[in-house]
Amino acid sequence: MAADPNRFAGIPGHGLFTDEHRRLREGVREYVERALAPNAEKWEEAGEFPIREVFPEAGAVGLFGAKFEEAYGGSGPDLVADAIVTEELARCGSAGVAASLGAHKDLGSWYLHRFGTEEQRQRWLTPAIAGSAITALAVTEPDAGSDVAGIGTRAERDGDDWLLDGSKSFITNGTVADVLVVAARTRPGDGHEGISLIAVERDTPGFTSSRVETLGWRTSQTGELAFDGARAPAENLLGEEGKGFLHLMEGFAWERLSMALGAVSGAERTLQLGIDYAKERQAFGRPVARFQVWRHRFADLATEIEAARSLTYHALRTVVAGEDAVREASMAKWLATELSWRVADEALQVHGGYGFMMEYPVQRAWRDSRLGPIGGGTTEIMKEIIGRSYGL
């Protein structure tokens, strides 16, 4: 099995983890193993989890505050600490739960912090870090996924308000968020320069949401949003008007890096599921794990996981150094999410017919991992970004 990432903690010259980070990892892992993982199967069967109970608990143990200053209830800013939280959440056994918690801290809250005013941060970010308010980022639309510049949701000024019309799709936390960061076109016809970010609160007149059924992430509240003359105060604008596209491009690097971190950690856990079962399953009088074909396959996957971890940590170092990490984050997201899906497919294969049965958790890992190469920018888009970064 791939080595524990804690092996780097406190090693001089590694430049990433410290003893404090090691202690943080132990604390987050303890919380995940105590409060989340034991309930994963029950929550998956129900298709939801008690989000209004879990979020305040997660906030109380500091899961949402690592990236943010103490002034807002955070414990940072420390991006490495936040990366550790992401890695450990991926081990909770329910990707939907991890996605809901992750989207809250890495999308909605992150944008509120980066582009919000001091008043907006105190109003929305502080309760978000405490877990008493849930956030979401609403960008994707039925006809505008990877093509962010093509979004059609409109926001027009009407006195002291914005009037929003349009729809969003595939929005994590979309049906439960108390505040959503919505990308809307405030200057029709201006392409990407006409997009702005506007905070929309749950009780905004003219705003409705509905949950959609998904193949994986079954506990995640994935929603479709509708804005029918939804009225938001003018002061809910985040960042500069017309600069929303640029703000999103800044935020996407961290979103993709977070997806890569979770994918590597998830792949490691899924590989262990496959190895454990291969040690137990008997064929031709011996455990499947003793057949060379599977020993070598597991060796291949474990090695690739370590390679993906190294690339992902390289991207993390780049971000922490304050350098442009668009290329590195895109590489990591592409490699790690595709690998996580392949690991799940191999782990399901070694289970044989039992891998196709709903009672075995490997089928959930297989379904959950499939979204990785799609969400947050498809693999094809990642390759396009990487290619363009070389002037191609």
Q: Which amino acid is at 297?
A: R
- Give the count of beta carbons closer than 10 Å to the beta carbon of residue 237: 21
Tokens (6 digits) for 65 = 């505050």
Alpha helices of the chain — where are they, by DSSP H? 19-31, 40-46, 51-60, 79-89, 95-103, 109-115, 118-120, 126-130, 244-280, 292-320, 326-350, 361-369, 379-389
Cα torsion through 211, 213, 218, 224, rounded to 10? -30
Q: What is the DSSP string of 10-49?
A: T-TT--S--HHHHHHHHHHHHHIIIIIGGGHHHHHHHT--
Catalytic residue from among 44, 224, 255, 268: 255
68/74 Cα distance (integer angstroms): 5
55/1 Cα distance (integer angstroms): 32
- The dihedrals phi and psi of 324, each to the nearest 5 degrees, come to -65, 120
With tokens 């496959």, the residue in question is 274
Q: Is 255 a catalytic residue?
A: yes
Active site residues: 255
